[in-house]
Chains A and B, each alone.
Chain A
Amino acid sequence: MILTAAIYILGAGAALATLLMLFQRNPVKAAMLMLAALLCTAGIYLALSAQLLAALQVIVYAGAIMTLFIVAVTVTPQAWRDRPAPGRISRVLGLAAAAVILIELMKVSAGLKLVALGAGFTETGTLGIAKQLFGRFFFQFELLGLVILASIVAAAALALKRRTNP
């Protein structure tokens, strides 16, 4: 009961934070709103008995990624000056597209009303996750290592290029 209420409240909080982000001029404030949305999401994970994920959400998203964003915003003065650029028509079209996507997704997931979720707060399944990662998804997991390596190399290359090109 309390978990259900928590999910609703946290979900509403995340949605509100995202909505406010849409109208926020200041990029650092927008980043803070994004941080709020991500923390709400961490709460939802916790309510869903995914404690490991909740912790990682805080560490990776709210910690690492947010820090990256703040750094990026601070080192690029252009990020402060930017205006809501697109014209009225493309704004309306973008909102309409998002609305249509939302409505259609809701429609298609109407069948989920019949699916019951296991209620209650359960023990964290870290061992299960570990078994999945090093068993069934071992190959994908190793590939993911490659992806991260590639992204590190790419980021380093871009940074070096910036330095050599005046």
Chain B
Amino acid sequence: MNAYPLAAISFLLFALAAAGFLTCGSLVRMLMFLELMLNAANIAMVALGPQPASQAYALMLFAVAAAEAGVGLALIIALASTFRTLEAENIKELKG
């Protein structure tokens, strides 16, 4: 087995998650797809990287993903209580 199918799997997962991220329009889902994108990148890391180091790095990426999810969900809950909506379309505080 060569490395290409693994790369292909991780890229496919990444692209599907990216497509979901770009099309769903809801903040919670966007965050979910973001986690999946990170996960796909993690697969490529573990499969293709130099062995012990890549696993160590993947481990640290888990921690980053967990932190991101924590802060992101906290933000979403705060936003939901402020704007009464979670549709990205309706949150336009930064409009120029």
Contacts and interface: CB of A to CB of B under 8 A. Distances in A.
Contacts of A19: 16
A83 to B, nearest CB: 7
Interface string B40-77: 00110011100111011111101111111111011111
Interface residues of A, number: 87
Given A57-B62, A75-B77, A147-B63, A136 B35 contact: no
- Main SS class of interface, A: helix
- Main SS class of interface, B: helix
Which size bracket describes the interface of B in this complex?
A: 35 or more
Contact of A137 (B56, B66, B76, B77): B56
B16 A82 contact: no
Given A73-B28, A79-B26, A125 B51 contact: yes
A113 B12 contact: no
Sort A-B residue pairs by CB-CB distance and give the 4 closest, nearest first.
A94-B22, A85-B25, A128-B52, A102-B15
Interface of A: 4, 7-8, 11, 14-15, 18-19, 21-22, 27, 30-31, 34, 37-38, 41, 44-45, 48, 50, 52-53, 56-57, 60-61, 64-65, 68-69, 71-73, 75-76, 78-79, 82-86, 90-91, 93-95, 97-99, 101-102, 105-106, 109-110, 112-117, 119, 125, 128-129, 131-133, 136-137, 140-141, 144, 147-148, 150-152, 154-155, 158-159, 161-162, 165
